[in-house]
Amino acid sequence: MSNLQNDLFIRALLKQNVERTPVWMMRQAGRYLPEYRQVRGKAGSFMQLCTNPELACEVTLQPVDRFGFDAAILFSDILTIPDAMGLGLSFAEGEGPQFARPLRTADDVHNLPIPDPETELRYVMDAVRLIKARLLGRAPLIGFSGSPWTLATYMVEGRSSKNFQLVKGMLFEQPLLMHELLDKLAQSVAAYLNAQIAAGADAVMVFDTWGGVLSHDAYPEFSLRYARQVRQLLNTHRDGRRIPAILFTKGGGLWLEAMAETGYEALGLDWQTSIGAARARVGDKVALQGNMDPVTLYASPDVIRGHVAKILHDYGQGSGHVFNLGHGILPDIDPEHVRAMVEAVRELSPQYHV
């Protein structure tokens, strides 16, 4: 089927039989790893690390080398698209992302270009190609993007937000303008992910980090609708091989049924949701990825092992589960605790695939 020596992750997303549950971690290439901090130190700024294919490749491979994760995920940022649109992304130390030119007027939205990934985001595609070459089929490579709604929150607010006053203000007062913005973003995200697929990504994931701040009636109209549009525009195959897509809305546990109707092969779950209950609600339609509370990794290896066992048991027999955290790993976790999690998944999961 492919040149992948380990395609557990892809098979689990497609609900094909697997010998054990595959495992990877959101933000697995990150600050908790000393070898990451070393590369980060020599890169200069965070954006210099993101935009340097050689270094992005190096940190992408680190956690695969160290832990043998069943998937690699492109090292990049969710805000590369708005940066390529001209908003001027930077990261102030300890402050998170900032845009020099946030969207303030209707003309700002009208004038937004849809970036050509192979030119304006070439550094990402170069990283994907380099990672694929260096992975040598050891694990599938996940490409990713922020969701249209999540990108819009940063583009309108200009930075991380607590109450999302500006972007919700646009949503309430100028819904047509918001729809124009989200449609442009959906086209841009789809083009970006399709370019990553063409460059070698074996699966893609859409991070709707801020979908959960919307109300129950705004979420389907302003977030989910555009996640669906992205999925409809995505290439589903490369060289005859299925490229599955994962949708993750942090805080979206109430809306899983609607999320499962959008064409994504899998849904990411945070730790508020029981993965067993989620499977009962939507498991015939999609695979599920998650969902250990990232804070669990501060606990002792024995406690971690117990939590892994509970989640595997909660999901139960059969394929369709990708083990992961419910959100990104925190920066001061002991890497040996990650190893305890990975080993527990390897040792405890085969019994659910007999």
Binding site for a second copy (CB under 8 A): 163-165, 168-169, 172-173, 212, 214-218, 251, 253-254, 271-274, 277, 293-296, 298-300, 303, 310, 326, 330
CB of 219 to a second copy, least distance (A): 8
Query: Which residue, 314 or 343, is less far from a second copy as judged by CB?
Result: 314
Residues 245, 194: contact at Cβ < 8 Å?
no
Amino acid type, 161: S
How far CA 6 is from CA of 138, 191, 322, in Å, comes to 6, 27, 14
CB of 352 to a second copy, least distance (A): 18
CB of 215 to a second copy, least distance (A): 4
315 part of the active site: no
Q: What angle do CA 67, 69, 74 make, to 5 degrees?
A: 115
In whole angstroms, give the CA distance from residue 74 to residue 27.
10
Query: Choosing from 77, 83, 202, 208, which is the catalytic residue?
Result: 77
Query: Which residue, 48 or 215, is less far from a second copy as judged by CB?
Result: 215
In whole angstroms, give the CA distance from residue 343 to residue 337.
10
CB of 175 to a second copy, least distance (A): 10
Helix and strand element counts for the chain (H, E): 17, 11
How far CA 108 is from CA of 105, 156, 226, in Å, comes to 5, 10, 20
Query: Which residue, 107 or 217, is less far from a second copy as judged by CB?
Result: 217
Query: Which residue, 80 or 153, is less far from a second copy as judged by CB?
Result: 153
CB of 296 to a second copy, least distance (A): 7
77 part of the active site: yes
Residues 267, 284: contact at Cβ < 8 Å?
no
27 part of the active site: yes
CB of 264 to a second copy, least distance (A): 20
Residues 291, 269: contact at Cβ < 8 Å?
yes
H-run or E-run covering 146: strand 141-146
In whole angstroms, give the CA distance from residue 207 to residue 154.
13
Query: Which residue, 42 or 216, is less far from a second copy as judged by CB?
Result: 216
154 part of the active site: yes
CB of 275 to a second copy, least distance (A): 9
Query: Choosing from 20, 40, 228, 305, which is the catalytic residue?
Result: 40
Query: Which residue, 229 or 273, is less far from a second copy as judged by CB?
Result: 273
Nearest in space to 24 (alpha carbons), one of 248, 196, 240, 252: 248
Query: Choosing from 154, 219, 226, 264, which is the catalytic residue?
Result: 154
In whole angstroms, give the CA distance from residue 347 to residue 293.
20
Nearest in space to 141 (alpha carbons), one of 195, 234, 75, 83: 75
Does residue 20 sit in helix, strand or coil? coil
Query: Which residue, 184 or 337, is less far from a second copy as judged by CB?
Result: 337
- Annotated catalytic residues are 27, 31, 40, 77, 154
